[in-house]
Amino acid sequence: MRDLGVFHGLGDLWVMVLEELEANGTAAVYTDNAGEEANVKELFNLTAEIQGAVLPDAIIEKHRVPSEYDWMVRNFTVRGEVPELHHENSYASRLYSYMGKKDQIEWLINRLNGNPHARSATITTFEPLTDEGYIPCVSLLDFQESGGKLDMTAYCRALDFGCKAYINLVMLHQIQKEISEKVGMEQGNMILIVKSAHFYMRDEPKVMKILKSERTQAE
């Protein structure tokens, strides 16, 4: 387990993971979902904690790619199939209409309103009966009251930090904010657990451009 520590901005965490991947990532052939293979740099079992993050995040706003950003936001906000993900269900469908039957976000809010100290305020994005071409990267969200605030632990089986992970962080922050407001608690910390953190080698020029910019900014 590689614990990256505590961060106070989503962009700060994103850049640190890119630094770790560039410096210490292992070259691998990454096989995912429907059998696609591509060269990556990868690290296993990263953890980090984000405290007091706010949006918009200056680093993310500076480096975000509109085409990447827009489709991932739609993935979290529009119910239906996602063409880019082998026409599997969007995160919005999985969270707000699980298997076409259950609004997990509403269920979670009701559970926490009924018992703010619940140890089982947990939801998943996996739909095992139908998932074939795409297995969701953001896998499980668990909420826990701590000191009067609502913390969220996000377990992710894999995150692509060269392309989409920074948007995942933004949307997870928004989900935590929504649930915190609806259960009447202050938004707490986000604890991130990532089994496979990676970037594809095709994105390495973009990664190096981001790192060069942020290193220069820090000087």
The two three-digit tokens of residue 156, written as one number = 């992710």
Give the chain's mean pLDDT: 95
Tokens of 169: 């962080």
Helix (H, G, I), strand (E, B) or coil at 196: strand
pLDDT at 34 over 70: no
Q: What is the mean pLDDT of residues 38-57?
A: 97
Give the strand pairing for 2-7 and 36-50: parallel
Which pLDDT value is given to residue 166?
98
Helix, strand, or coil (residue 66): helix
Nearest-angstrom CA–CA distance, 95 and 159: 18
* Total residues belonging to the chain: 219
pLDDT score, position 203: 95
- C-alpha separations of 140 from 57, 119, 122, 177, 194 in Å: 24, 14, 7, 17, 11
Query: For residue 30, what pLDDT is reported?
Result: 81
Q: Give the model confidence (pLDDT) of 93-143 as tens digits.
A: 999 999 999 999 999 999 999 999 999 999 999 999 988 888 999 999 999
pLDDT of residue 52: 96
